[in-house]
């Protein structure tokens, strides 16, 4: 099953979810089974599928849906986050190789996985970023290996080391000579291409171990073919046992490539995917970005935006945030600045009416009909507050008639508008104080930890 099919299968899961009236254990189980099926058909390793689906199940059963969102949104987020997490987290890997130190990258992988092509791609990539790059051919096994890399090296105008007639030489010696030569010449990045086929797997792995222990490369990069399916897991594991892998290059992630192999290779090794190859040409290389990979997988362009919004909403209703707010209110330190922050956060989140209840006390101070015009009003208030001085925002009591006139003029509003905002602010602080007295009387502050709304 190709990567598009996996995406479609996951999208179907999500669709099914949105039809469900409630998310109970039965629905979650069904969804988890569908996800498992989709991942297995995409060649993701069985153990990994179980691990992933267990985590998704566990989180989905505990789901809490912030106002303004649907259960579907929250479950998409869980699937997205678990997949991204597996792939090494949200940030794309950083390429910050030091200059002039001869940073060595040793490529490993079986015959045909794309090592030689990827070596040239990497050289092209780093050269384009201003690095001095050199290549070494330590594949003494396959006839023609030398010429293939030589041609590519000429194409990108990088030097290449390696004897043409190499089958009498040891790959360890060739690699050692090449590295010492290029280090002396002050190259920044030295890329070593290796063999991928031997009489048996054991002798191949031994050769890799030998080269790595002599060269001590800064980074061993596994090149793995995205189209090989279930074998990806055992292949990656075998190489990782022979030489500790630092990173992964997924080749052939173009066309009908399977996505699951990539996931499995990561799971088998704990190494991060740094690059993907998307074609046969030397410039068809991309830095791997886990979140865009997973977004593509889920077939939804805006999944990242959704996750972002959900996180903000959650932060707003987090007990910690509410408690902090309570403290500020309690000590009379809830200022217009705080109000401004709150309104701005809420306006960024989108549909307002449903989100209003995220702000403690807000729903009690605004009458029903006010909710409907609140969006417009909030925008106006933000403009008004932008025309205030820092001093006025921190200490609204000083805003007298003449200040009001200045603020109204500066914000293109009327004194009546400014007064309305201030009335609202003072009303809000009064409500806060009252709520506080009540809640303290009723349960004490500690009991409010973890509650979403005020215990009225």
Whose Cβ is closer to ligand GDP: residue 112's or residue 350's?
A: 112
Residue span 87-116 as binding mask against ligand GDP, x where in contact by CB under 6 A, dash where not: ----------------------x-xxxxxx
Total chain residues near ligand GDP (CB under 6 A): 17
DSSP SS3 for 300: coil
Ramachandran category for residue 211: left, alpha or beta (phi over 0 → left; psi -120 to 50 → alpha): alpha
> Which residue in the shown chain puts its C-beta closest to ligand GDP?
277
Query: 84: part of which helix (H) or strand (E)?
Result: helix 71-86
Which residue in the set 36, 45, 113, 116 belongs to the binding site for Mg ion (CB under 5 A)? 116
Stretch that binds Mg ion, among 50-58, 110-118, 310-318, 382-390 (CB under 5 A): 110-118
280, interface contact from Mg ion, ligand GDP, none, CB < 5-8 Å by kind = ligand GDP
Task: Give residues 112-141 in contact with ligand GDP (rule: CB under 6 A).
Answer: 112-117
Give the list of residues 6+ apart from residue 451 with CB closer than 8 angstroms, or none. Answer: 319
Given the complex with ligand GDP, which of 226 and 349 has the nearer CB atom?
A: 226
Q: Which tokens is 382 given?
A: 């933000």
Placement of tokens 């809830």 in the chain: 334
Residue 146 interacting with ligand GDP (CB under 6 A): no
Question: Closest by alpha carbon to 249, among 270, 229, 220?
Answer: 220
Helix 415-442 vs helix 401-411: angle between axes, to the nearest 10 degrees? 110
Question: CB under 6 A: which stretch of 92-100, 274-282, 402-410, 419-427 binds ligand GDP?
Answer: 274-282
CB of 327 to ligand GDP, least distance (A): 56
- Token pair recorded at residue 210: 């030998």
C-alpha triplet 405, 408, 411: angle, nearest 5°: 150
Shortest Å, Cβ 230 to ligand GDP? 19
Q: Which is nearer to Mg ion, 143 or 351 (CB)?
A: 143
**Binding positions for Mg ion, rule: CB under 5 A:** 115-116
**Binding positions for ligand GDP, rule: CB under 6 A:** 109, 111-117, 196, 251-252, 254, 277-280, 284
């Amino acid at each position: 099953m190709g990567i598009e099919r996996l995406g479609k299968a996951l999208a179907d899961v999500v669709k099914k979810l949105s039809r469900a009236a409630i998310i109970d254990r039965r629905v979650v189980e069904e969804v988890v089974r569908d996800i498992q099926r989709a991942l297995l058909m995409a060649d993701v390793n069985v153990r990994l599928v179980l691990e992933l689906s267990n985590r998704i199940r566990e989180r989905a059963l505990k789901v809490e849906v912030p106002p303004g969102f649907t259960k579907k949104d929250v479950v998409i987020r869980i699937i997205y986050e678990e997949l991204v997490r597996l792939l090494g987290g949200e940030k794309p890997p950083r390429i910050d190789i030091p200059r002039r130190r001869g940073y060595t990258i040793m490529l490993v992988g079986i015959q045909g996985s794309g090592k030689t092509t990827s070596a040239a791609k990497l050289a092209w990539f780093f050269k384009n970023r201003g690095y001095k790059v050199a290549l070494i051919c330590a594949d003494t096994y396959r006839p023609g290996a030398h010429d293939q890399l030589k041609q590519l090296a000429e194409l990108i105008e990088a030097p290449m080391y390696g004897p043409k007639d190499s089958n009498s030489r040891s790959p360890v010696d060739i690699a050692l000579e090449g590295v010492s030569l290029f280090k002396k010449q002050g190259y920044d990045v030295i890329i070593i291409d290796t063999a991928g086929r031997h009489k048996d797997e054991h002798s191949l792995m031994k050769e890799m171990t030998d080269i790595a222990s002599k060269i001590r490369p800064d980074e061993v990069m596994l090149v793995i073919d995205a189209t090989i399916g279930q074998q990806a897991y055992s292949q990656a594991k075998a190489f990782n046992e022979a030489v500790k892998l630092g990173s992964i290059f997924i080749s052939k992630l173009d066309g009908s490539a399977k996505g699951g192999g990539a996931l499995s290779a990561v799971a088998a090794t704990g190494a991060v995917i740094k690059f993907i190859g998307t074609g046969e040409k030397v410039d068809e290389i991309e830095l791997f970005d886990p979140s865009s990979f997973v977004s593509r997988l889920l077939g939804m362009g805006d999944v990242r935006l959704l996750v972002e919004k959900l996180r903000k909403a959650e932060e707003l209703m987090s007990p910690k945030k509410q408690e902090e707010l309570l403290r500020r209110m309690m000590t009379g330190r809830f200022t217009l600045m705080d109000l401004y922050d709150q309104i701005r956060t809420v306006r960024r989140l989108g549909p307002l009416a449903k989100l209003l209840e995220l702000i403690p006390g807000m729903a009690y101070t605004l009458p029903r009909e006010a909710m409907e015009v609140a969006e417009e009003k909030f925008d106006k208030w933000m403009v008004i507050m932008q025309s205030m001085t820092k001093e006025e925002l921190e200490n609204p009591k000083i805003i007298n008639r003449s200040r009001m006139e200045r603020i109204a003029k500066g914000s293109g509003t009327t004194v009546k508008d400014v007064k309305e905002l201030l009335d609202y602010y003072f009303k809000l602080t009064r409500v806060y104080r009252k709520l506080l007295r009540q809640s303290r009387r009723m349960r004490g502050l500690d009991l409010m930890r973890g509650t979403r709304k005020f215990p009225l």
